[in-house]
Chains A and B, each alone.
Chain A
Amino acid sequence: MMEQREFDEDVMPSAIDDDDDVFKDLLNVPADWSANDCLSTGIFNSFDPNEVVYRAQKKPCKTVGKYVMGDLLGEGSYGKVKEVLDSETLVRCAAKILKKKKLKRIPNGEKNVLNEIQLLKTLRHLNVIELVDVIVNEEKEKMYILLEYCVGGLQDMLEHSPGSKFPCWQAHNYFSQLINGLEYLHSRGIIHKDIKPGNLLLTLDETLKISDFGTAEALSPFDPEGICASSQGSPAFQPPEIANGADEYSGFKIDIWSSGVTLYNLVTGEYPFEGDNVYRLFEAIGKCNIQIPGFVTEPLRSLLVGMLKKDPKKRFTLRTIQTHPWFVCRHPRTSEKVPFPPLRGDFMHNMTVLPYLFNYHSCETPSDNEEEYITEQLIKDRPNGSTSVPIDDVNDPSKQPWHKPIVCNVKKMASCRLS
């Protein structure tokens, strides 16, 4: 069962539904467009173009529970992922927004979501995504799964990198974190079943987080073998025993295989097996004639071969991987790092919740120096001036309590930035 929280949705004055694109509001005349502004500038019929841009891209502030919503981070078949800010702890998180209607259309949709929530609640490890909260809105038939904030997945980074691959040292860093996380999961009897670059996320400090536990399985602690009977993972990452249609297989060895395919993918930019369709692909995987490109040299070569052994019994264990020379070696940084792809032009991945908060509090003005300094900083930090932040000159003491949190937010954001 999942947590069913009393849903308290606080829609702030000019809020819109989070499903609607914020930019639909482009042409709305803002409510706080006070006559004073117009009078002071002496313009009635012609606008300063900059002013128009700002007013148009106003970001109405919306909260779900204690979380303040920010920009869209990504979208999947299940729904959207948005950045949010926990207004109590001031920690940035990501909210996976699921709609019941959409979930029903996906095979096992609801079941996988509940499975994921249940598993994540019991897991705590540096390299496993942390579940922060779950909020259900029965009325809107929506569920918000709050997870720790990540900048993006390895898949995204690969797609934006030359040759769709990472330099060896970078791949080694991610791979060793993957193996650490996997060791923890396996020690807790959990088989992930869908290890692939798309499910490996990174935080701003380059910590890898294994995510997406929708199809993961928790083995009985009393079953010594670790036998699984189902798998819904991505076809290209499935091992030969599944491609050949075995009924039962060692769960641990599936994760080893898909981690092997992942490593292959990270260092070569290709997949070890390809096919025009799933049948061809499974045929190729089933035969397991593996070709490793010539530029992959020892000891990496033997690690890949060991992880991609057709016979699960001969396939490496986590322990053999962890003691393998390529794994143990320190890999000096020899070439340029593949960066996180920017989010709408912002390479720094600054917090996107702030403009909403500023918008909400824009009627008040920072009176002391600190506030002004922060506002300027914020303007500088905005990507390509996509939004400018209003600095009005009204000082409303009734809104004072809000000053402090905003100060903290900005400091927090500054420290989050990649150096």
Chain B
Amino acid sequence: MLAGNMPLFGKSQKNPVEVVKQIKEAVVALEKGDKKLEKAQEDVSKNLLVIKNLLYGTADTEPLSDIVVAQLAQEMYNNNLLLMLVQNLTKIDFEGKKDVAQVFNNVLRRQLGSRSPTVEHICAKSEILFTLIAGYEHQEIALNCGTMLRECARYEALAKIMLYSKEFFNFFRYVEVSTFDIASDAFSTFKELLTRHKPLCAEFLEINYDKVFTHYQQLLNSENYVTRRQSLKLLGELLLDRHNFTVMTRYISNPDNLKLMMNMLKEKSRNIQFEAFHVFKVFVANPNKPKPILDILLRNQDKLVEFLTRFHTERSEDEQFNDEKAYLIKQIKELKPTTSDQ
């Protein structure tokens, strides 16, 4: 197939077997710490650059042909190179870390007809995913791991492994860490996992309802303003997505959730009040309100009407909000105890 001595891609072109062998040796050396750190790092980065240039091409060279890429990828799978790179990411130097992410994402996107061989490889080596998730624990690699994780999350098979793992619940911790950029990166991965493949996400949320929403409650009560605001917004999106119908019905039947939202309507931050409104409205608009929910609303009927009438009155431009607000006020005014009650 590939004539090794054919000057297909310039003079310094190596064949895939060789390239992978060299980088593997360099990573092993880095892992063991035999050589001086800097020397070992240099070796790894040099080889990473070679692979990156093979995959993406450079100013002077074209990217490799499909056949050679296939060989290169196959060698990477055979040598478990992806896992090795990810496991040693903290030790690789700054540019090298970025190159790992680029090489990883490029190989991941490979397709053979309707198959994605790298996705299949990672499915079989799910340790890769868990190592990447754990990357959020290490400041120096968190963002690199984030880009790779979100690329993985685009594939349903990989998203499924992550969602159904115990490691997924670590995200509830990562999205709250004090380093803002890491917390936001973790949140976008978290959101991607919960929204990208809608039927999969809905099924996951239904099966793990109690566990997920117990954890989610902590986000909504977080000390961290950004966490509180982002998680509240995401909650609204999740509940109003038709795929999550069952989850929504269950969520809006729980009086504790209603109480939480009513408290959030009164938060200091107007942004949080506004996001809370979009969850609160679902409780009120529900035509089949369970008794505990109805009871709370009835008990607060007058106060709610008064509160909502004065709620965010400056948003006169936002017609949809005003229509919804007017609708809620009307609904609450017209609430009556159920007949069986009287």
A23 sits at the interface (CB 8 A): no
Query: Which chain A residues lie closer than 8 Å to B198 at the CB level?
Result: 183, 187
Give the residue of A1, A187, A330 whose beta carbon is less than 8 angstroms from that of B241.
A187
> Which A residue's beta carbon lies closest to that of B242?
A189
Give the residue of A221, A226, A326 whose beta carbon is less than 8 angstroms from that of B285.
A221
Most chain-B Cβ atoms within 10 A of its Cβ — which of A3, A186, A221, A328? A221
Give the residue of B245, B286, B323 whose beta carbon is less than 8 angstroms from that of A224.
B245
Closest beta carbon of chain B to A217's beta carbon, Å = 13
Query: Which chain A residues lie closer than 8 Å to B111 at the CB level?
Result: 329-330
Query: Which chain A residues lie closer than 8 Å to B114 at the CB level?
Result: 299, 325-326, 328-329
User: In the complex the two chains form, is B319's CB within 8 Å of A3's CB?
Assistant: yes
Closest beta carbon of chain A to B240's beta carbon, Å = 6
Query: Which chain A residues lie closer than 8 Å to B319 at the CB level?
Result: 1-3, 121
A323 to B200, CA, bound (A): 13
B191 sits at the interface (CB 8 A): no
> Which B residue's beta carbon lies closest to that of A330?
B111
A328 to B245, CA, bound (A): 27
User: In the complex the two chains form, is B243's CB within 8 Å of A187's CB?
Assistant: yes
> Which A residue's beta carbon lies closest to that of B323?
A1
B288 sits at the interface (CB 8 A): yes
A313 sits at the interface (CB 8 A): no
In B130-157, the 8 Å CB interface with A consists of 156
A202 to B81, CA, bound (A): 42
User: In the complex the two chains form, is B282's CB within 8 Å of A221's CB?
Assistant: yes
B332 sits at the interface (CB 8 A): no
Query: Which chain A residues lie closer than 8 Å to B243 at the CB level?
Result: 187
Residues 205-228 of chain A, each 1 if its beta carbon lies under 8 Å from chain B, else 0: 000000000000001011010100
Closest beta carbon of chain A to B331's beta carbon, Å = 13
> Which B residue's beta carbon lies closest to that of A226?
B242
Q: Majority SS of interface residues in chain A?
A: loop
B287 sits at the interface (CB 8 A): yes
Residues 166-199 of chain B, each 1 if its beta carbon lies under 8 Å from chain A, else 0: 0000000000000000000000000000000011
User: In the complex the two chains form, is A122's CB within 8 Å of B285's CB?
Assistant: no
B51 sits at the interface (CB 8 A): no
Give the residue of B199, B242, B286 whose beta carbon is less than 8 angstroms from that of A188.
B242
Whether A222 touches B287, Cβ cut-off 8 Å, given contacts A122-B320, A329-B114, is yes
Give the residue of A3, A319, A329 whose beta carbon is less than 8 angstroms from that of B199.
A319
Give the residue of A121, A188, A319, A328 whose beta carbon is less than 8 angstroms from that of B240.
A188
B248 sits at the interface (CB 8 A): yes
In B193-247, the 8 Å CB interface with A consists of 198-199, 240-243, 245
> Which B residue's beta carbon lies closest to that of A225?
B245
Most chain-B Cβ atoms within 10 A of its Cβ — which of A3, A186, A222? A222
Query: Which chain A residues lie closer than 8 Å to B320 at the CB level?
Result: 118, 121-122
User: In the complex the two chains form, is A188's CB within 8 Å of B241's CB?
Assistant: yes
> Which B residue's beta carbon lies closest to that of A186?
B242
Whether A187 touches B323, Cβ cut-off 8 Å, given contacts A221-B282, A329-B111, is no
User: In the complex the two chains form, is B288's CB within 8 Å of A222's CB?
Assistant: yes
Closest beta carbon of chain B to A253's beta carbon, Å = 14
User: In the complex the two chains form, is A221's CB within 8 Å of B248's CB?
Assistant: yes
B337 sits at the interface (CB 8 A): no
In A42-63, the 8 Å CB interface with B consists of none
A118 to B323, CA, bound (A): 11
Closest beta carbon of chain B to A176's beta carbon, Å = 13
Query: Which chain B residues lie closer than 8 Å to A323 at the CB level?
Result: 156
Query: Which chain B residues lie closer than 8 Å to A219 at the CB level?
Result: 242
In B294-333, the 8 Å CB interface with A consists of 319-320, 323
Query: Which chain A residues lie closer than 8 Å to B287 at the CB level?
Result: 222
Query: Which chain B residues lie closer than 8 Å to A187 at the CB level?
Result: 198, 241-243
B4 sits at the interface (CB 8 A): no
Name the 9 nearest CB pairs between A and B, nearest first.
A325-B114, A328-B114, A329-B114, A330-B111, A187-B241, A189-B242, A319-B199, A224-B245, A222-B287
Residues of A bordering B, CB below 8 Å: 1-3, 118, 121-122, 183, 186-189, 219, 221-222, 224, 226, 299, 319, 323, 325-326, 328-330
22 residue pairs from A and B, CB less than 8 Å apart: A1-B319, A1-B323, A3-B319, A118-B320, A121-B320, A183-B198, A187-B198, A187-B242, A188-B240, A188-B242, A189-B242, A219-B242, A221-B242, A221-B248, A221-B282, A222-B285, A222-B286, A222-B287, A222-B288, A224-B245, A329-B113, A329-B114
